[in-house]
A and B are shown apart, each in its own frame.
Chain A
Amino acid sequence: MIGQANGSTAIPAAGFADPTRDAQRAFRAVLDALSHPSLAYHVGGAPEAPELLGSGLGAVALTLLDEESSVWLGGPVGDDEAVSSWLSFHTGARRVAEIAAADFVLTPFSDMPDLATLALGTEEAPHRSATVLVDVRGASGPARFLAEGPGIDGRVEFDAPWADGSFADRWSENNRLFPRGVDLVLVDATTVSALPRTTRLSVIDTTPGKA
């Protein structure tokens, strides 16, 4: 299987140094993040993951994906041979072309597809929906949200440098589908945060001069 797509014989870079312990640590970070929306947790890393994927997102992918899951790759990662051969070699996850068929969507935030086109689950099986693993490395936007929902004690304000101007509206569309809908796992170089479908966001105006 190695490098089969282009006939090269390049050996993919290493995955986890210590698969059992590294995967456990990364999973607890993702579980904590999903249980405490707005907080970021240290995710460890897969230091030799392809640069386009990144160490943090690589660790999350190695932790959650395997031959029983399907993945759709968005943006530049979708065209990168190093990423697809690394993922295929270490996880065996099936890469699908049809986005609605994917259990996991792996994409930079800027290339995140319309959430309504992903697998949203059904009323009887809302768990058969997509989890979006979003690369948010280097994000530095001004967005700030007020969040409420399960996992949050009352309401909490948090910075979301990865978000763009239309995200809150797109997310509330996803909220409205509950119990259907998708969940976001946001990964930067070393930390993970998450938005389960239950988290409701409202935009805090951060324009200078306004309170």
Chain B
Amino acid sequence: MSQELIDYNIGYLDEQTKRMIRRALLKAVAIPGFQVPFASREVPMPRGWGTGGVQVTAAIIGEDDVLKVIDQGADDTTNAVSIRGFFARVAHVGTTTRTDEATIIQTRHRIPETPLSEGQVIVYQVPQPEPLRLLEPRETETRRLHALEEYGLMYVKLYEDIARFGHVAKTYDYPVLVGERYLMAPSPIPSFDNPKMDGNPALQLFGAGREKRIYAVPPFTRVESLGFEDFPFEPQRFDDPCALCGSTGVYLDEVIIDDAGASMFVCSDTDHCERTVAENEEVFA
């Protein structure tokens, strides 16, 4: 009775679907930052849980790949564990939690602290691929705005933030200009991570399953976070080090530690935190 009832194709998707996604990926790489429509398929998870990222990963992954999946930086959350298990089973790939050992990293809303290297691929799960959507709801219009490279709306939004709050209030999904041409939503990564996209040696692929769009940033491509001469882009900063590993210059999550509301700030990147803790122990052992 242990025999499986269904023998899935390697990578879960059928070959015709993979070809369709692969053709879209090639166009996405050729036109950095441009959103290429694709026929998003059903995968065994609900829309909004990373179906775009899963489809992109399924279209590129092979048996000699090593997959890492993170959710808000963590390797050990439900979504990350499930997606890793899914590909281990349907694509027969090795998995890892170490950023430096992975060939493909699928991510929800973070870029790992460990710098990516050439040859790696990072696949972002994207809920809303259109950076102008909240400013212009009509797809016909946003397409035209991209065609005309008319991004005044976004600058007005940033200007209004500055006029009201004295600074740009957007701290995640902070808009970027890719290759000095296309305005792009970096998926809701914190603006802390935005500088890592610029000139990154890894191939960055973005999949939006519900919205049916794929886009990409090739390696060594200029990714400029929008700003003004007198109010340049400023990524988030953290004054205190991680309470567990002591790292500075990393993105921290607030964790509530008792019923009185006390909290501590720890690395969002669990792989980075664990390895730094291990290194510290070696030093002090």
Task: Please give the residue numbers on chain A whose beta carbons come within 8 Å of chain B beta carbons, in ascending order.
Answer: 19-21, 23-25, 27-28, 30-32, 34-36, 63-66, 68-69, 103, 122-127, 129, 131, 150-154, 178-179, 183, 196-198
User: Which of B15-23, B44-52, B123-131, B240-248 contacts the other chain?
Assistant: B15-23
Q: Which of B155-163, B216-224, B229-237, B266-274 sits within the interface?
A: B216-224
Q: Do B218 and A151 touch (CB < 8 A)?
A: yes
Residues of A within 8 A of B31 (CB): 126-127, 179, 197-198
B73 at interface, CB cutoff 8 A: no
| Given A23-B15, A127-B36, A150-B179 contact (CB < 8 Å) | yes
A129 contacts which chain B residues (CB < 8 A)?
A: 27
In the bound complex, residues from chain A placing their C-beta under 8 Å from that of B144 are 124
Q: From B144, which residue of chain A is reached at the shortest CB distance?
A: A124
Those of B1-23 within 8 Å (CB) of chain A: 9-11, 15-16, 18-20, 22-23
Please name the residue on chain B nearest to A69 by beta carbon: B23
A24 x B11 contact (CB < 8 A): yes
The segment out of B58-66, B109-117, B169-177, B254-262 that lies at the interface is B58-66
State whether A35 touches B218 (Cβ < 8 A).
yes
Contact B19–A196 (Cβ < 8 Å): no
26 A-B pairs within 8 Å (CB atoms) are namely: A24-B18, A27-B18, A30-B26, A31-B22, A31-B25, A31-B29, A34-B26, A34-B30, A35-B203, A122-B147, A123-B147, A124-B146, A125-B143, A126-B31, A127-B27, A127-B31, A127-B37, A129-B27, A150-B32, A150-B220, A179-B31, A179-B34, A196-B29, A197-B31, A198-B30, A198-B218
Are the C-beta atoms of A131 and B147 separated by less than 8 Å? Answer: no
Give the complex CA separation of A152 and B147 in angstroms. 25
B196 at the A interface (CB under 8 A): no
Chain B contact residues, CB within 8 Å of chain A:
9-11, 15-16, 18-20, 22-32, 34, 36-37, 59-63, 119, 143-144, 146-148, 179, 181-182, 201, 203, 217-221
Cβ A24 vs Cβ B201 within 8 A: no
B266 to chain A, nearest CB (A): 34
A24 touches B29 (CB 8 A): no
Closest beta carbon of chain A to B149's beta carbon, Å: 9
A183 and B29 CA atoms in complex are apart in Å by 10
- B36's nearest neighbour on chain A, judged by CB, is A127
Q: How far is the CA of A116 from the CA of B23 in the complex (A)?
A: 21
B22 touches A63 (CB 8 A): yes
Contact: A64 with B19, CB < 8 Å?
yes
A81 to B36, CA, bound (A): 35
Prevailing SS type, chain A contact patch: loop
Bound CA span A154–B11, Å: 35
In Å, the complex CA distance between A172 and B63 comes to 39
Chain B nearest CB from A118 CB (Å) reads 14
Q: Are A198 and B32 in contact (CB under 8 A)?
A: yes
Known A-B contacts: A127-B37, A150-B32. Give 13 more (CB < 8 A): A20-B10, A23-B18, A23-B19, A25-B62, A34-B29, A34-B30, A35-B218, A64-B26, A68-B20, A126-B31, A127-B28, A183-B27, A197-B30
Q: Using Cβ atoms and an 8 Å threshold, which residues of chain B touch A65?
A: 19
CB neighbours (8 Å) of B20 from chain A are 68
- The answer to whether A150 and B10 touch (CB under 8 A), given A25-B62, A35-B203, is no
**Min C-beta distance of A196 to chain B, whole Å:** 4
Chain A residue numbers with a CB within 8 Å of B9 are: 20
Q: How far is the CA of A154 from the CA of B201 in the complex (A)?
A: 12
- Interchain CA distance A178-B218 in the complex, whole Å: 16
- Given the interface pairs A31-B60, A151-B221, the reply to whether A66 lies near B19 with Cβ below 8 Å is yes
- B residues less than 8 Å from A69 (CB atoms): 23
